Structure 1
Amino acid sequence: MKALVYEGVETFGVRDVLRPEVGQGHSLVRIEASGICGSDMHAYLGHDDRRPAPLILGHEAAGVIEGGARDGERVTINPLVSCGTCTACRTGRDNLCPDRMIISMPPREGAFAQYLAMQDDNLILVPDHVPLQKAALAEPLAVSWHSVRLGLVALDPGVSRTALVLGGGAIGLAASLALKAQGLNDVTIAEPNDARRLFLENQCDEVSVPAGTGQYGIVIDAVGYAATRAAASALAEPGGVIVHVGLGEDTGGLDIRRMTLQEVTFIGTYTYTPQDFRDTCAAIFDGSLGLLDWAEHRSLDDGPQAFADLRSGAVAAPKIILNPWA
């Protein structure tokens, strides 16, 4: 089968590799759409020791099952694999399982390929009226759905129901959609890239403005750099909530003194629970998250150039989705 293989820092190759073997309790999925995630970019830049070369990256995918009892089912993939037996898993918090892993981390190859073997429990049936290219957005949308759910639970009733999302990439845009789907309508996206900001203003209902003014009841950092954490610290209302999703930079930025004196809650969030993933899929399928027409589509063969374009900041769309069969 054809696969996009990460071969070293800023180096990809389109290669012919063996089709994955299908074990008990697994299905073979013919991948029809696979999105490029920020974590894939971290690996591409050599910033992720968890993803050493050579490796097939990609974990945001949807496709059609080939063979077995579920032959022909259209599915989207929950790429988070957990042990199923620890306290976290038994209480529905698989994202905190100490043995958790996501496909595209050894020993699990990823979804930038024509086929992927995946546990049946991680495959969510997609209705016929939903394009698989949109179903492939379930994973990044679930990340934001989970973060928004946690943030809204922590939001004090006395704090304004206003939200600022730092970063207009897929996770930031998804957070704005999840906020609205979960009942908070006053949402602003701050995106510094001119091309992406213009794309958001033209293609989406969300308002995109530079960060730096006003205060908000909830601030979602979908970037995760020292500068965005500093902005979140300054822009959260007294008694407000900072929800940290991005993993751009490990340290720096938080104004701990202001957060302490103003009782600002900080929540770190990681991926999603199985229920969050199912709830996100339901919201995709019933249209609660909008048209989801903001991705750019390319062939898998164009994968190396897609990563280079993302690296240079030349991509306005919040998401690039690759088609292994184009």
Structure 2
Amino acid sequence: MKSKAMVLKEFMKPLEMEEFEIAPLEAGEVLIKIEAAGVCGSDVHMWKGEDPRTPLPIILGHEGVGRIQEIKGKKQTVYGEDLQVGDLVIWNRGVTCGQCFACKILKDPSLCKNRKVYGINQSSAVFPYLNGCYSEYIILNSNTDIFKVEDTVDPALLVSASCSGATIAHAFDMISSVLGDTVVIQGPGPLGVYAVAFAKSMGASEIIVIGGSKERLDLCTYFGATLVLDRHETNIQERNQMIMEKTRGIGADLVVEAVGTRGVAEEGLKLLRSGGTYLSTGYAQPAGEESIDFYRDIVSKNITVHGVWVSDTKHTKMAIDIVMKNKEHFAKLISHRFSLEEANQAIASMNAREALKAVLIPNRG
């Protein structure tokens, strides 16, 4: 039995279609037929060679939903349900070691230094080869945490829950509540859209989004944003003034960075009230240094700054839950669908910011 997959062999070069022999499964492994694979903004950075974790050659794709084709032995979901051939599933994209300092002492698997991530740091040259979602099939490690998905759900609807959704869930899991109810979100992409959804679900009354795409800002409004600020129509000083006016000169309680580009943190920290919290979620790769006045913007205001690195299984569950409660909303997040053979077009559409969320459908006719 064989599987076609799109392989990145050289940075900045087109992915190439390859055929892989599907290796016999080892105990606890699960063979998945991919029904939908998300094309993440991080994939674009990896394609460009900007992510230091990326080995070559690699089958990209860390967001996947698929149907079980084979199980070696017994495998259960995180809820203890027995998995069966034919089940539609989604999984935590990262597999941690359970033995290192982060796993054992910190109890924070997202910081595991031995973390293996499908489609990010596992080469297609390494057994069992099918290690990414830009493929007809993927083989899941025996330690992969798996969730069943309702058969009636469009698989494409859930792919982003395993990355953008889980990362934002991790961010909001770091705070107990949205104190004062004013949230500013920097960036209207998938991370920003999830941030709007989580802020609304936690009871924020003012949700302000800053971005440069009218279509994306409109989607954030649809999700519950109460004010959107187009950065092409406003400058930093104007945005600061508008947010201060909205908050009676106090500033936002919470600012979520969901962009990952230089200069964003410099603006965002100035938008916070004293005692406010800054959640940085967008830096999936190095982006350069920020110029921060620690005395004025952090120390003298008692600001809490949280770096948010990837996510864990708990956060994948939180993201799945919020999507399932808002299916109609998240359906609008998917702007483009491509076949597996069109993976290069999908990456190009994400790189050009033509697509908000592109999804590969391997069996698309």
TM-score in same-fold range (> 0.5): yes
Equivalent residue for 2:160, pick from 109, 124, 137: 137
The change in CA–CA distance for 1:111 and 1:253 in structure 2 (over 3 A counts) is: farther
Q: Provide the residue aligned with 2:258 in structure 1.
A: 222
Structure 1 segment 310-321 matched on structure 2, within 5 A: 310-315=350-355, 317=356, 319-321=357-359
Q: Provide the residue aligned with 2:56 in structure 1.
A: 53
Q: Provide the residue aligned with 2:270 in structure 1.
A: 234
Q: Provide the residue aligned with 1:2 in structure 2.
A: 4
Quick one: distance in 1 between partners of 2:21 and 2:165?
28
Quick one: distance in 2 between partners of 1:32 and 1:66?
12
Structure 1 segment 78-157 matched on structure 2, within 5 A: 78-90=92-104, 92-104=107-119, 105-107=121-123, 109-119=131-141, 121-139=144-162, 140-150=164-174, 152-153=175-176, 157=179
1:194-249 deviation per Cα after TM superposition (whole angstroms, max 9, x unaligned): 44334545x54434323623131100001122211111111111111110011151
Amino acid at match of 1:66: Q
Equivalent residue for 2:40, pick from 37, 40, 55: 37
The change in CA–CA distance for 1:253 and 1:169 in structure 2 (over 3 A counts) is: farther
| Aligned residue-pair number | 318
Mean Cα deviation higher: 15-24 or 263-272: 15-24
1:78-100 deviation per Cα after TM superposition (whole angstroms, max 9, x unaligned): 11110022343346521111211
> Is residue 174 of structure 2 the alignment partner of residue 171 of structure 1?
no
Quick one: distance in 2 between partners of 1:174 and 1:198?
14
Structure 1 residue runs of 5 or longer lacking an equivalent are none
Percent identity of the aligned residues? 23
Largest Rg, 1 or 2: 2
Amino acid at match of 1:122: D
> Is residue 316 of structure 2 the alignment partner of residue 277 of structure 1?
yes
Amino acid at match of 1:73: D
Quick one: distance in 2 between partners of 1:292 and 1:268?
26
Amino acid at match of 2:293: D
Check the 8 A contact 1:2/1:14 in 2, yes or no.
no
Q: Provide the residue aligned with 1:305 in structure 2.
A: 345
Structure 1 segment 53-72 matched on structure 2, within 5 A: 53-68=56-71, 70-72=84-86
Q: Provide the residue aligned with 1:17 in structure 2.
A: 19
The change in CA–CA distance for 1:50 and 1:76 in structure 2 (over 3 A counts) is: same
Secondary structure of 2:255's partner?
Answer: strand
Equivalent residue for 2:307, pick from 265, 268, 271: 268
Equivalent residue for 1:252, pick from 268, 287, 290: 290
Mean Cα deviation higher: 205-214 or 33-42: 205-214
Check the 8 A contact 2:197/2:223 in 1, yes or no.
no
| TM-score (normalised: structure 2) | 0.80
> Is residue 77 of structure 2 the alignment partner of residue 77 of structure 1?
no
Mean Cα deviation higher: 108-117 or 261-270: 108-117
Secondary structure of 1:314's partner?
Answer: coil
1:281-312 deviation per Cα after TM superposition (whole angstroms, max 9, x unaligned): 23333x15763111122222221122122222
Quick one: distance in 1 between partners of 2:207 and 2:95?
32
Quick one: distance in 1 between partners of 2:257 and 2:308?
10
Secondary structure of 2:360's partner?
Answer: strand
Q: Provide the residue aligned with 1:322 in structure 2.
A: 360
How many angstroms does 1:103 deviate by? 1.1
Quick one: distance in 1 between partners of 2:177 and 2:219?
32
How many angstroms does 1:280 deviate by? 2.5
1:6-56 deviation per Cα after TM superposition (whole angstroms, max 9, x unaligned): 132322234132144332211001001111122211111121231133211
Q: CA RMSD in A?
A: 2.2
Mean Cα deviation higher: 121-130 or 247-256: 247-256
Quick one: distance in 1 between partners of 2:205 and 2:135?
38
Quick one: distance in 1 between partners of 2:49 and 2:203?
39
Mean Cα deviation higher: 34-43 or 113-122: 113-122
